Amino acid sequence: MTQTEALGPAIARASAFLKDQAAEGFPEAHHRMRFPRWAGFSSAQAEQVATQFAPAVIADLLLDVALCQDSAEAASWHEIARAQADRLAQARLSDRPGGWSYFPDLPELPPDLDSLGAAIRLFARAAPEHLPLVEDPIRVALAGAEPDGVLRTWIVAPDAPRKALKRMRRGVRWHWGDTVDLEVCARFFLGLYDMDAARFAAEIARASAAIAAAQAPDGSWPATWYAGPVYGTALCAQLMEVTGQDQAAEAGHAAMAACVHPDGGWGAWDSVPLDTAMALAGLAPHVTVGVQDRAVAHLLRFQNPDGSWPGTPWIQMEAGRALGKIQRRITWQSDTVTTAFALRALAIVAQQAEAEQAETATPIP
């Protein structure tokens, strides 16, 4: 079986795995983490569970998969994305402005721009009737814009209930840090672009120019909340593409391409399926066939018998960063998240291969 022929079975196995996970609400992609009272947190339960952010990102990835497949298969992904959008709509915070918090039951963690951006993108693509839910959070977020148009990650509304406001400000000061995180900004403004590019044209243009100006000399962008060298650059490069920042987008693509390992994969140290899938999807139209083939081979080699791929760190949290001294880096990973990224990458490659075959088979008049 050739590599191209192997794509179909690999995609089918990954699809079956993700559909099984979707039927249960993506339980393996629920992030559990402990925030004990001795560390300064006030929740009655030390263990907190993030049930909405990763599934929302997965649903968005599955909508990308749908764009690459026939109508029947695409409809099944849209149904899954719609169900997740409905769950996300019900999870909107009612006790403080800002929309959604990664760990909603942790009083010290404010609503955040990343969760809001994920909600906007999913609602815009899968369930537009839920978009009224993001109007007030967007207003609150944009009210805190920096002079150059970028936004800080935490949405701490001054009119939040006094007790909640005090706890959130303490959390930002002691635990999270009050920073502009470029990959988070990129997701949010991509969300505004998906929602209504014309309405938010001025805000998107200002922020994308600022993000382009913050690009590192090698073309990459750093990521605060995501592990590895790829995801932050991939998100920012995507924003550059849709906003016409062509030079910055090309430099971002070149930076990602330069990070490939000799075995054809991507990763911070060794090649891992997650970073390889992210890079392959972002670079699919921009790299040689040889680079693409080696990346696909890497993914096919590491697919599990059940159709999934093994998770590697995706989310990261730098303990001590808010106080200026990083003590340790806490990471979280998910087989389901990795599999969604891998499926998207392989679906894009398969669609390209089909288009090339059709072009070759079409007789020249």
Q: Is residue 130 part of a domain?
A: yes
What's residue 364's pLDDT? 53
Residues 6+ apart with CB under 8 A from 54: 26, 29, 30, 31, 334, 336, 337
Give the count of beta carbons closer than 10 Å to the beta carbon of residue 98.
23
- Is the pLDDT at 176 greater than 90, yes or no? yes
Return the amino acid letter for 292. Answer: Q
Q: Is residue 274 part of a domain?
A: yes
Average pLDDT over all residues of the chain? 93
Q: Give per-residue pLDDT as tens, 282-309.
A: 998 787 778 888 999 999 999 999 999 9
Q: Is residue 46 part of a domain?
A: yes
Q: Is residue 100 part of a domain?
A: yes
Identify the DSSP state of 272.
B
Q: Is residue 363 part of a domain?
A: no
Q: Give per-residue pLDDT as tens, 231-260.
A: 999 999 999 999 999 999 999 999 999 999
CA-to-CA distance for 233 and 249, rounded, in angstroms?
9
How many domains does one find in the chain?
Answer: 1
Closest by alpha carbon to 224, among 326, 109, 111, 105? 326
Can you give the residue range of the structural domain that contains 346?
3-358
Q: Is residue 17 part of a domain?
A: yes
Q: Given CA atoms 51, 54, 57, 58 in this order, what sign does their dihedral have? A: negative
What's residue 319's pLDDT? 85
Q: Is residue 365 part of a domain?
A: no
What is the CATH classification number for the domain harbouring 108? Answer: 1.50.10.20
Give the count of beta carbons closer than 10 Å to the beta carbon of residue 357.
11
- Is the pLDDT at 360 greater than 70, yes or no? no
Q: Is residue 364 part of a domain?
A: no
